[in-house]
Amino acid sequence: MDAGKATLWQLRQLLDSREISSVELLSFFLQAISQHDGTLHAYLHVNERALEEAKLADEKCSRGEPSAPLTGIPVAVKDNICTLEQPTTCASLILKDFVSPYEATVVARLRRAGAIILGKTNLDEFAFGSSTENSAFGPTRNPHDVQRVPGGSSGGSAAAVAAGFCPAALGSDTGGSIRQPAAFCGVVGLKPTYGRVSRFGLVAFASSLDQIGPITRGVRDAALIFSIIAGHDRYDTTSVTEPVPDYSRFEYPADLTGLRFGLPREYLSGEVAGPVKDALSRVSRLIEGLGATVEEVTLPHTSAGIAVYYIIATAEASANLARFDGIKYGYRSRHHRNLRELYMFTRGEGFGQEVKRRIILGTFVLSSGYYEAYYLKAQRVRTLIRNDFLEAFQKVHLLLTPTTPELPFLLGEKSKDPLKMYLSDIFTVNANLAGLPAISFPVGKSTEGLPIGLQIIGPAFQEELILKAAAALEQALS
């Protein structure tokens, strides 16, 4: 079996049966990264102690100690999630070489489950972007076509999984940053319900929108990682106490009998690429063949989503990034003569263009005289968007939509037009605004060989339902 294409479940079986050791598994991925990541640039840092940790996992196995679900299996982590002994740079010069003094809750939970943190993956700086071109350390490329973007901002995580550099990775999703790159790279990406997964140790972009989730090769792998990282955390006041089922042990159905899927009319009325529309039609017919029904629904305030998102997200980003001032940690400019210049030069030299753009926009919408006109109004429309979903879920169990309106675009194609780039997230931002769970899963490729992903959105805390539906469709499509 090619370890680069194996699922977490398959790797667990190989390790348990001693057909492969953890050291051999780690060596395979390290060699793949060494040989090919110079082209893709999925990783910003590779864990130098990974092989040592693999040896310890093998020793435990040889002593007959019971293995945890991920014992000896490598997992990559997006580089805006804090890890001990490895840098957390957020792909920004302002945090170059920064090593966190503490570890994110999700990383600690992965370690407790036996995982080896293989390395930190590339992203758009501070997760501000949809292409992973905004990294201060260079862009990531799409494994299916190196002239194209992998999506963003979790492009490094999605590319690493798709390229066979790791079997699973963590990403963060503020407006689509797990789902969009998952679609562009032909893998699975799950954004949990807001509050379902702890944000402690995630470098904040927009605190009311951010969620951490898994990027994997298959739906059941996503369920396994999600089961491990989900749950209440006393260090995160926004994390909920809702009980967490063991999603990895569900019986995943072969059919969808009794489920009602909604196709939002507004998601199909804009400019959607032909191959994406064709895939949506094909999967809709497949759903009906599996015993479910598909009907059109309406989400009237969909068109306001991008505007609302870029007001709220930039406002929260402006506040969250105020801490990067050259005083306590991170980059400090050497060219200052006073405190004001220290702030100005540190932030001017340390932040990239897109980060500056969003800080300025967020500061503007929060400023005196504009707060009510922009930020407060955006929050009101956010409530209307949430109510649209609540009303739709009175009629259907789940929503089926494109994940993205287009196929992976060329590197540099949208770099000079921020508005075009922002519209890449037109089908993903509203789930974040409403705090709902959503999953992107691959449904095939275009005639050019480019991946196509579709999205299932469910009611709050109904990850079980969207995972079961996606798993049934994944099985039928394969």
Set 153, 227, 318, 424: catalytic member: 153
Q: What is the pLDDT of residue 418?
A: 85
> Considering 67, 78, 92, 135, which one is annotated as catalytic?
78
CA-to-CA dists, residue 46 to 78, 80, 109, 182, angstroms: 12, 15, 20, 21
Is 420 annotated in the active site? no
Question: What pLDDT, on a 0 to 100 scale, did the predictor assign at position 141?
Answer: 98
Catalytic annotation present for 177: yes
In this prediction, residue 1 carries a pLDDT of 67
Burial class (CB in 10 A: 0-12, 13-18, 19+), 301: buried
Phi, psi of 402 (to 5 degrees): -65, 150
Residues near 188 by Cβ (< 8 Å), separated by ≥ 6? 182, 214, 215, 216, 217, 218, 219, 221, 222, 439, 440, 441, 442, 470, 474
Instruction: Kindly give the confidence (pLDDT) of every residue in the chain, 478 residues in length, as a single tens digit, with 9 standing for 90 and above.
Output: 688 899 999 999 999 999 999 999 999 999 999 999 999 999 999 999 999 999 999 998 888 888 899 999 999 999 999 999 999 999 999 999 999 999 999 999 999 999 999 999 999 999 999 999 999 999 999 999 999 999 999 999 999 999 999 999 999 999 999 999 999 999 999 999 999 999 999 999 999 999 999 999 999 999 999 999 999 999 999 999 999 998 888 787 778 999 999 999 999 877 899 999 999 999 999 999 999 999 999 999 999 999 999 999 999 999 999 999 999 889 999 988 899 999 999 999 999 999 999 999 999 999 988 898 999 999 999 999 999 999 999 999 999 999 999 999 999 999 888 888 998 999 999 999 999 999 999 999 999 999 999 999 999 999 999 999 999 999 999 8
Instruction: Count the neighbouring beta carbons within 10 Å of the beta carbon of residue 478.
Output: 7
Using omega within 30 degrees of 0 as the cis cutoff, is the peptide bond preceding 92 cis?
Answer: no
For residue 384, the model assigns a pLDDT of 98
CB 457 within 8 A of CB 401: yes
Q: Quick one: tokens of 317?
A: 């980003």
pTM > 0.95: yes or no: yes
Residue 29: strand, helix, or coil: helix
- 416 noted as active-site residue: no
Quickly name the fold that domain 8-249 has: Amidase signature (AS) enzymes (3.90.1300)
Q: What is the reported pLDDT for 335? A: 86
CA-based nearest residue to 141, from 455, 458, 409: 409
Determine the pLDDT at residue 248: 83
Residue of 21, 135, 157, 177 marked active site: 177
pLDDT at residue 254, as a whole number: 77
With vertex at residue 172, the alpha carbon angle to CA 168 and CA 176, rounded to the nearest 5 degrees, is 105
Residue 205 CB contacts under 8 Å (≥ 6 apart), including other chains: 80, 126, 127, 128, 172, 174, 313, 316, 317, 320
Domain residue spans of the chain: 8-249, 307-372
Tokens 């980003």 sit on residue: 317
First to last CA, the chain: 18
